[in-house]
């Protein structure tokens, strides 16, 4: 596995979309979603490209091959969301007004839980992703701003890009090696 | 039968033990086949310690898991059977590891390879299985493919009166089930941009036939029935040479798939299980599915008076410590409940050289006889 070159790291700053997509823990600056970002692995051969469209927070394209990434520099956040409870969830079934989900706490309290969550809690951009098996991240916490503190709930669904043929070919070669693990 | 709360003691060297652990969602089984040799089947997490249930129990009774666990079996790829499995494999350094043959076919391993390099859910059962394979890679130790009629373990257990043979066979999945699994995994690879879900129903789970001396157990995993005689329980009954050559019927039955009707095959109870066996099952609660149903419980109770469940299915509301979390959760949800609403352990022991069936059943935690379930 190649090491990842941290282009210009900053402490605990992740974007909403990355946080939702990859389940990273920690807070994120609310206003820092429009910057194009590039991450490069140290061997130069593998690159991860992450592109945002028109400054919107949705993740348009990810080519993540392989493994780890860090984020380039960003201005210090003036608004900061501090999670006091965060779950990784996956959808069990979907009804007309709500969906049922299994929740596993990854920040904060609690055993595994099962909840019926109102669909209106889901970002409009994510509504199409609400289907059985889909993974999401639900964060509850405080938004600290210069003008004061707000409490809030953010629920974002993970997006998966389709496999590229090179990715699939790499996986097949690795699978052949894994086959050798069995008698 | 006794109801114990906390007193735990290891089995004697000449005692056979089966321990079945289960919260509302999860299942794990431990076998002591004598002479301090343990077999571990599937894994779930003990909710209070957060540790794999089997490891938690073995540690409590003073067993050295590094040397005493001889075989670990992963029966199938479902979330409720693999919780903490990678930790179990990591800790039990001398154990052989057997995976369902379905989990060793190339299409499944390609899925593993794909998702090694993609961010997948922290709780993903695929992630657990990928970690198990990684441990095998690091150890340079070959895993076993558990398929129909494969002997996974054999021991000679020294007793005061001689030696007992202990043999553990997988009697599924069948060739037909493996073919179906291959197709299902291929489809998952094609749908790589869609959500990843383990295929259901599961006809590729590993059913184990356990013989220790003259005592026999049948561990049904989550294997279900199908009209196709080449798959599921019918394939075992029709094609398994281990089952065909059996000399005894099973006195202990770990009921398949949480007692669900979809896993009930009357010929299993009639042909390969003793009349009125000791039957043990674990509950399953997810979404709008709660097993066993009332019908399942009545059916099993009619088949044996000695049926036990590791915890009665029930709902449990969470008490929030943080006021902000409580308020926002209540605004966003119609209902929320703890999944691990109960935790129990059914333990059954029998002296190996005793020719009679003198099985002793002990219940821990929330485990109860099935006829006490409302």
CATH at B138: 3.60.15
Query: What's the angle, vertex CA B29, arms to CA B23 and CA B34, rounded to 5?
Result: 145
Q: What is the reported pTM? A: 0.80
pLDDT tens string for chain B (374 positions)? 444 444 578 999 999 999 999 977 789 999 999 999 999 999 999 988 889 999 999 999 999 999 999 999 999 998 889 999 999 999 999 999 999 999 999 999 999 998 877 766 555 788 899 999 999 999 999 999 999 999 999 999 999 989 999 999 999 999 999 999 999 999 888 877 666 667 766 789 999 999 999 999 999 999 999 999 999 999 999 999 999 999 999 999 999 999 999 999 999 999 999 999 999 999 988 777 789 999 999 999 999 999 999 998 766 677 888 999 999 999 999 989 887 667 899 999 999 999 899 999 999 999 999 998 87
Determine the pLDDT at residue A31. 34
3-state secondary structure of A105: strand
Tell me whether residues B332 and A132 touch, CB distance under 8 A: no
Averaged pLDDT, A28-51: 36
Q: Specify if B5 maps to a domain.
A: no
Tell me if chain A has a CB within 8 Å of the CB of B185: no
What distance lies between CA B218 and its chain's CA centroid?
11
Tell me whether residues A160 and B193 touch, CB distance under 8 A: yes
pLDDT > 90: percent of chain A: 31
Q: Is the dihedral of CA A74, A76, A78, A79 positive or negative?
A: positive
Q: Specify if B336 maps to a domain.
A: yes
Q: Specify if B341 maps to a domain.
A: yes
Could you give the CA distance from residue A123 to residue A112 in angstroms, rounded to a whole number? 24
Tell me whether residues B113 and A92 touch, CB distance under 8 A: no
Nearest beta carbon to residue B338 from set A84, A100, A111: A111
Instruction: Provide the pLDDT confidence category of residue A160 given band limits of 50, 70 and 90.
Output: confident
For chain B, the domain total comes to: 1
Tell me whether residues B197 and A134 touch, CB distance under 8 A: no
Residues of A in contact with B122 (CB under 8 A): 23, 88, 104, 106
Please give the residue that has the higher pLDDT: either A112 or B143: B143
Evaluate if residue A24 carries a pLDDT over 80: no
The residue of chain B nearest to residue A21, with distances taken between CA atoms, is: B119
The residue of chain A nearest to residue B138, with distances taken between CA atoms, is: A181
Q: Specify if B7 maps to a domain.
A: no
Tell me whether residues B117 and A93 touch, CB distance under 8 A: no
What's the gap in Å between the CA of A15 and the closest CA on chain B? 15
The residue of chain B nearest to residue A131, with distances taken between CA atoms, is: B195
What's the gap in Å between the CA of A101 and the closest CA on chain B? 7
What's the gap in Å between the CA of B115 and the closest CA on chain A? 9
Could you give the CA distance from residue B350 to residue B16 in angstroms, rounded to a whole number? 5
3-state secondary structure of A177: helix
Q: Are B71 and B40 in contact (CB under 8 A)?
A: yes
Could you give the CA distance from residue B69 to residue B62 in angstroms, rounded to a whole number? 13
Instruction: Provide the pLDDT confidence category of residue A76 given band limits of 50, 70 and 90.
Output: low
pLDDT, averaged across chain A: 67
Exposure string of A58-94, with b = 16+ CB inside 10 Å and e = fewer, is ebeebebbbbebbbbebeebebbbebbbbbbbbbbbe
Residues 223-242 of B with CB under 8 A from A: none
Determine the pLDDT at residue A3. 40
Tell me if chain B has a CB within 8 Å of the CB of A1: no
What's the gap in Å between the CA of B360 and the closest CA on chain A? 33
* Cβ neighbour number for residue A54 with a 10 Å cutoff: 7
Q: Specify if B228 maps to a domain.
A: yes
Phi/psi at B61 (nearest 5 deg)? -95, 10
Tell me whether residues B328 and A22 touch, CB distance under 8 A: no
Please give the residue that has the higher pLDDT: either A50 or B357: B357
Q: Specify if B242 maps to a domain.
A: yes
Strand partners, B29: B20, B41
Nearest beta carbon to residue A171 from set B113, B335, B336: B113
Structure token pair of residue B15: 């005692």
DSSP H or E segment with residue A86:
strand A80-94
Could you give the CA distance from residue B99 to residue B143 in angstroms, rounded to a whole number? 7
Evaluate if residue A120 carries a pLDDT over 90: yes
What's the gap in Å between the CA of B223 and the closest CA on chain A? 21
Tell me if chain A has a CB within 8 Å of the CB of B117: yes
Determine the pLDDT at residue B119. 62
Tell me whether residues A132 and B325 touch, CB distance under 8 A: no
Tell me whether residues A132 and B197 touch, CB distance under 8 A: yes
Task: Tell me how many residue pairs between chain A and chain B have CB atoms under 8 A apart.
Answer: 167
Residues of B in contact with A163 (CB under 8 A): 114, 189, 192-193
Tell me whether residues B325 and A181 touch, CB distance under 8 A: no
Tell me if chain B has a CB within 8 Å of the CB of A175: yes
DSSP H or E segment with residue A18:
helix A16-22
Q: Give the residue numbers spanning the domain of B293.
A: 15-372
Q: Are B357 and B298 in contact (CB under 8 A)?
A: no
* Beta carbons within 8 Å of B3's beta carbon, 6+ residues apart: B362, B363
Could you give the CA distance from residue A89 to residue A134 in angstroms, rounded to a whole number? 8
Model pLDDT for residues B24-80, shown as the tens digit of each residue = 778 999 999 999 999 999 999 998 888 999 999 999 999 999 999 999 999 999 888
What's the gap in Å between the CA of A128 and the closest CA on chain B? 11
The residue of chain A nearest to residue B198, with distances taken between CA atoms, is: A133
Tell me whether residues A179 and B106 touch, CB distance under 8 A: yes
Tell me if chain B has a CB within 8 Å of the CB of A165: no
The residue of chain B nearest to residue A174, with distances taken between CA atoms, is: B113
3-state secondary structure of A176: helix
Phi/psi at A70 (nearest 5 deg)? -135, 175
> C-alpha dihedral over A53, A57, A58, A60, to 10 degrees?
30
Structure token pair of residue A177: 């090696």
Tell me whether residues A23 and B144 touch, CB distance under 8 A: no
């Amino acid at each position: 596995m190649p090491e990842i070159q941290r282009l210009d790291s900053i402490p605990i700053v992740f974007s909403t979309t990355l946080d939702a997509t990859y389940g990273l823990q920690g807070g994120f600056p609310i206003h820092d979603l429009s910057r194009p970002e590039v991450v490069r692995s140290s061997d130069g051969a593998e690159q991860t490209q992450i592109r945002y469209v028109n400054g919107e927070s949705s993740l348009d394209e990810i080519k993540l091959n392989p493994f780890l990434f860090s984020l380039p520099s960003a201005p210090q956040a003036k608004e900061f969301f501090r999670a006091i409870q965060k779950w990784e969830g996956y959808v069990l079934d979907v009804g007309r007004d709500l969906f049922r989900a299994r929740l596993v706490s990854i920040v904060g309290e609690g055993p595994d839980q099962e909840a019926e969550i109102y669909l209106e809690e889901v970002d409009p951009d994510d509504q199409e992703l609400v289907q059985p098996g889909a993974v999401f991240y639900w964060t509850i916490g405080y938004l600290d701003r210069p003008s004061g503190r707000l409490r809030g709930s953010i629920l974002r669904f993970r997006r998966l890009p389709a496999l590229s043929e090179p990715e699939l070919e790499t996986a097949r070669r690795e699978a052949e090696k894994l086959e050798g693990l069995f008698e | 039968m006794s109801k114990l709360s906390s007193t735990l003691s290891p089995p004697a060297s000449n005692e056979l033990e089966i321990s079945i652990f289960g919260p509302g969602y999860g299942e794990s089984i431990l076998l002591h086949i004598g002479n301090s040799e343990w077999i571990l089947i599937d894994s779930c997490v003990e909710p209070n310690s957060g540790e794999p249930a089997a490891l938690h129990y073995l540690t409590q009774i003073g067993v050295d898991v590094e040397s005493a666990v001889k075989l670990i079996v992963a029966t199938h790829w479902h979330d409720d059977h693999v919780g903490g499995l990678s930790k179990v494999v990591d800790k039990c350094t001398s154990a052989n590891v057997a995976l369902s043959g379905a989990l060793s076919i190339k299409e499944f391993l390609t899925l593993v390879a794909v998702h090694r390099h993609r961010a997948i859910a922290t709780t993903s059962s695929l992630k657990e299985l990928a970690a198990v394979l990684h441990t095998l890679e690091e150890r340079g130790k070959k895993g076993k493919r558990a398929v129909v009629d494969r002997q996974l373990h054999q021991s000679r257990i020294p007793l005061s009166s001689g030696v007992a043979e202990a043999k553990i066979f997988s009697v599924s999945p069948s060739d037909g089930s493996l073919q179906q699994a291959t197709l299902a995994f291929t489809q998952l690879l094609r749908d790589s941009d869609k959500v990843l879900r383990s295929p259901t129903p599961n006809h590729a789970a590993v059913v184990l036939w356990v013989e220790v001396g003259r005592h026999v157990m049948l561990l049904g995993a989550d294997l279900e029935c199908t009209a196709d005689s080449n798959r599921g329980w019918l394939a075992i009954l029709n094609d398994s040479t281990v089952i065909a050559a059996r000399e005894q019927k099973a006195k202990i039955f770990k009921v398949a798939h949480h007692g669900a009707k979809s896993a009930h095959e009357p010929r299993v109870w009639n042909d390969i299980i003793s009349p009125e066996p000791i039957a043990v099952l674990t509950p399953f609660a997810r979404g709008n599915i709660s097993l066993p149903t009332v019908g399942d419980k009545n059916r099993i109770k009619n088949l044996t008076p000695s049926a036990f469940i590791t915890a009665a299915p029930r709902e449990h509301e969470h008490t929030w410590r943080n006021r902000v979390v409580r308020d926002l959760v209540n605004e966003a949800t119609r209902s929320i409940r703890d999944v691990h609403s109960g935790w129990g352990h059914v333990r059954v022991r029998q002296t190996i050289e005793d020719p009679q069936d003198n099985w002793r059943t002990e219940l821990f935690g929330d485990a109860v006889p099935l006829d006490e379930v409302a």
